[in-house]
Amino acid sequence: MGRTLEDKRSIVDSLKAQLSETDMAVVIDYKGLSVAEITELRQKLSESGGVCKVTKNTLMRIAVDGDDNWQPMTEFLKDSSAFLLLQGDIGAGIKAYQEFQKAAKKSDLRGGVLEGRALSADEVKAIGDLPSKEQLIAQIAGGINAVTTKVAVGIKEVPNSLARAIQAIADKDQDSADAA
């Protein structure tokens, strides 16, 4: 028994709602994955704030129709598609998928959509290779700390240099007085 028109509308509405909260959508081919493997992928994604949706391409096409932000996804809608809807730290979501894919070796990354732009599989993988938000913050903090340390050492050195110069002049005057 197929889905009723009301069921399909409900699914489309649900997809639209999820897409409105999504920062990036990634389309994968899930052919050959078992229910247990899809469940494992969903668990890995949920740890990074992502969701894996398996739905018919037709329903996703209807959900993105007229939405300029998600319209480019239609070029990836073919065969059996699963949709990774990522929000927040999208790099962590992509890394979670890549980790899953290395173990399963059954799914293929077709591409993704970010800020209304279609991304190739290589571009999506490149985003996954970027350092995490926490790593970037740590690098920036380290850079700021190094600069402030240098400034503090420089500021401390000015009075020390002045004191050494004054002492050198005093020693020179003392040596001149002792010589006379």
Give the pLDDT confidence of 68-108 residue by residue, as tens digits: 888 888 888 888 888 989 988 888 888 888 888 888 777 78
What is the rounded CA–CA span in Å between residue 57 and residue 80? 8
Instruction: Judge whether 49 and 88 are in contact, CB under 8 Å.
Output: yes
So what's the architecture of 5-130 in CATH? 2-Layer Sandwich (3.30)
Helix, strand or coil for residue 136? helix
Position 11 scores a pLDDT of 86
Position 1 scores a pLDDT of 47
What residue spans define the domains of the chain?
A: 5-130, 131-180
pLDDT in tens, 132-160: 677 778 878 887 877 777 777 777 777 77
